[in-house]
Amino acid sequence: MTSRAYGSGDPRTVVVPGLGATAGEARIPASGLPGTRVVLTLPSHADEPDAPPDYWTYPAIAADLAPALAGARQAIGVSLGAGALCTLLANAPDTLDRVVLILPAAISRPRPAESAKRVLEMATAAETGDRALLRALVAQDTPSGLDTYVDERTSALMRLGSALRAVAEQVPVPDLAALAEVSADVLVVAATGDRLHPPEPAEEAAAAFPRAKLVRFDSPAPLVTHRREVRALLAEFLALPSKP
């Protein structure tokens, strides 16, 4: 896992992208934030080497993530990244002061059946090298007019068949009570109509953290269709004064 920093000064915010995020997609949550934004690149993404065997578990990703958070008290996780942050916080509840969880796919229960089925279909397409099928599956969950993004995301996911299969039915936090000890302020962002990220896990996360707020966007892809609103929401939340 490597990182790239943008901006300077405080606060320092780490962005943990989702599985198969393109380089541009990974940077979206960091855009417009105050201070220093550190965007991580996961193994098997972009120019990173392939992940070692058995890497794609939430505990392993959370352990890999911990050093990247050094010096930061704020973090944003998207999808898989949101799950990894939840795993980390369940084990180290005072690690961060502010956390944004965007489109978490699971918390204490496996993904809903339709979501898991879609992820497993994508895994099979990637593992068998069926790029056309994988592209069709990606396109089904992407707003129209984004052909370049669909192509880039398909290319990214072609390396991630085993990862998709591994995370399809995993849970980041088997014991939800662990999140009751987290002291951070938490913002949870949910979407409607997103088959890979149904709203139930986001609602569960918002209910589990003691200091959480849930914001819903009426869109299957709010990072694309409501990019300006999401940026404003994150910038306001992460620029708040530190807690006493």
Report yes or no on 53 lying in a domain. Answer: yes
Burial of 6 (0-12, 13-18, 19+ CB in 10 A): middle
CA dist 136 → 101, 127, 131 (Å):
27, 15, 9
Q: What CATH number corresponds to the domain at position 51?
A: 3.40.50.1820
What domain count does the chain have?
1
List CB contacts of 206: < 8 A, sequence separation 6 or more.
186, 188, 212, 213, 214
Report yes or no on 24 lying in a domain. Answer: yes
CB atoms under 10 Å from CB of 9, counted, come to: 8
Q: 176 is in which domain, residue-wise?
A: 2-109+172-238
Distance CA 43, CA 50 (A): 6
CA dist 2 → 42, 85, 167, 180, 203 (Å):
7, 16, 21, 30, 31
pLDDT in tens, the chain (244 residues): 999 999 999 899 999 999 999 888 899 999 889 899 999 999 999 999 999 989 999 999 999 999 999 989 999 999 999 999 999 999 999 999 999 999 999 999 998 899 999 999 999 999 999 999 999 999 998 888 889 999 999 999 999 999 999 999 999 999 999 999 999 999 999 999 898 999 999 999 999 999 999 999 998 889 888 989 999 999 999 986 555 4
Report yes or no on 82 lying in a domain. Answer: yes
Burial of 40 (0-12, 13-18, 19+ CB in 10 A): buried
Distance CA 244, CA 191 (A): 32
Which among 53, 83, 102 is positioned nearest to 168, based on CA atoms? 83
Report yes or no on 66 lying in a domain. Answer: yes
Report yes or no on 64 lying in a domain. Answer: yes
CB atoms under 10 Å from CB of 71, counted, come to: 10
Report yes or no on 185 lying in a domain. Answer: yes
